[in-house]
Copies of this chain bind each other. A is one copy, B any other.
Amino acid sequence: MKTVGGNGSVSDLPHVVIIGAGFAGLAAAQELGNTAVRVTVIDRNNYHLFVPLLYQVATAALSPADVAEPIRHVLGRYPNIGVVLGEVSSVDTQAREVSLASGETLHYDRLVVATGSTSSYFGHDEWRSVAPACKSIEEARLIRSRILSAFEEAERDGASDREALMTFVIVGGGPTGVEMAGSVAELARHALTADFRHIRPETARIILVEGGPRLLTAFPDSLADYAAKALERLGVQIMTNAPVERITEDGLTAGGRFIPARTVLWGAGVAPTGAAKLLGVPPGPGGRVAVCADLSVEGLDHVYAMGDVAACLGEDGRPLPGLAQVAQQQGRFLGKGLRRAIIKGEPLSAFHFYNRGNAAIIGRHHAIFDFGRYRMKGYPAWMLWAIVHVVLLVNTAQRVRVSLQWLWRYLTYRRGARIITTPVPPRGR
């Protein structure tokens, strides 16, 4: 309907279809904005989710809208980009067609798959309902409701199960588990202290369970040690060498020990979404889609994969980690590359990841940053973490909102979003 330039309809231009509006997909689309290329971005949600801050929604510090930005709003300024809200049901790489669950079919000239990752329970899908992960807004809201409801139940006169209600177990010693444990600890130790009469939230047990010998294996020893000490100072109990054997509504068994706990949160594993199957290619390392150095999918023409779903080998010959910065750099690289390839006929070059530093935040004044050569911890790392995350948010309004809420929380120790709005399913009693 709307035209670019005025010389022809957008629908005559070469068509790039991008599946997924995460960090990778959105960056690629933006690079293709206002060019002589027609772009369609497909996502099952109408928003781009800033996953690195989602744990703050789960722990009542931020609201969903603070970390979710409507895709149409981000891309609305580019008349050559359309957005489709829908679920991809199949891809025909011969006919170059993407079919949606709603029945629509889109023809593409180039297809970019950036469908990300999902939480993985290592074959124990029965744990999913008792130990929710934090990968979507709905899950974050559910976790928030579960944590707050546990305190409410414990507050009841004559609550029989007070110890288990006031025990919070977080599974997984990676950045996700560490950040979640720190944030739950701060919620209990600071934000809720004045709220109850029969319980003292600051006495809640927060336990971080890790199957391997230490936390944060992606970080150097010195930083991981620092993080562990900072967590312990916050009152988080750390159990290493404790692989999870069983999770029920009554608690968790790990390393042969049963911990009575009514709230178990999962931060242990992620798996790529099923894009290899969708594309009809054999799964690559870790189930991800194997891609060449230029991010084209091995064995397919004009199909590309990037972000968490793609196994792109780094300089050390191992697949790059599933990080926002990897996805964003790949998106920019591929967006620029496709622009040149389609408009000027230039071949794609090889992607090189530039490590901007790997970070984890433990809590107030405590974070770690690993830049490879340099390392940073404590207050400066915490400041840098906050600045980087605010800058990375999609728009100015979110930056202002999140900064203000952080400032307010920093000054008062309070959390504004302590509302229970997702009904917590009865836990069998």
Contact = CB atoms under 8 A, between A and B. Distances in A.
Given A64-B63, A72-B195, A416 B404 contact: no
Q: Give how many copies assemble into the complex.
A: 2
A147 B331 CA distance: 31
Size class of the contact patch on chain A: 35 or more
Interface stretch (A270-278, A290-298, A337-345, A417-425): A417-425
A299 to B, nearest CB: 30
A397 interface: yes
A416 B398 contact: yes
A290 to B, nearest CB: 33
Given A419-B137, A420-B45, A195 B84 contact: no
A417 B64 CA distance: 8
30 contacts: A1-B198, A45-B420, A46-B148, A46-B152, A46-B418, A46-B419, A47-B420, A63-B64, A63-B66, A64-B421, A65-B417, A68-B419, A68-B421, A72-B195, A72-B196, A72-B418, A73-B195, A73-B414, A77-B194, A79-B197, A82-B197, A82-B198, A85-B152, A102-B156, A104-B156, A104-B158, A397-B414, A397-B416, A400-B404, A404-B404
Interface of A: 1-2, 45-47, 63-66, 68, 70, 72-73, 76-77, 79, 82-85, 102, 104, 137-138, 141, 148-149, 152, 155-158, 192, 194-198, 397-398, 400-401, 404-405, 408, 412, 414, 416-421
Given A1-B198, A73-B418, 20 more contacts: A2-B197, A46-B152, A65-B416, A68-B421, A72-B192, A72-B195, A72-B418, A73-B195, A73-B414, A76-B194, A77-B194, A79-B197, A82-B198, A85-B155, A104-B156, A137-B421, A138-B421, A397-B408, A401-B404, A401-B405
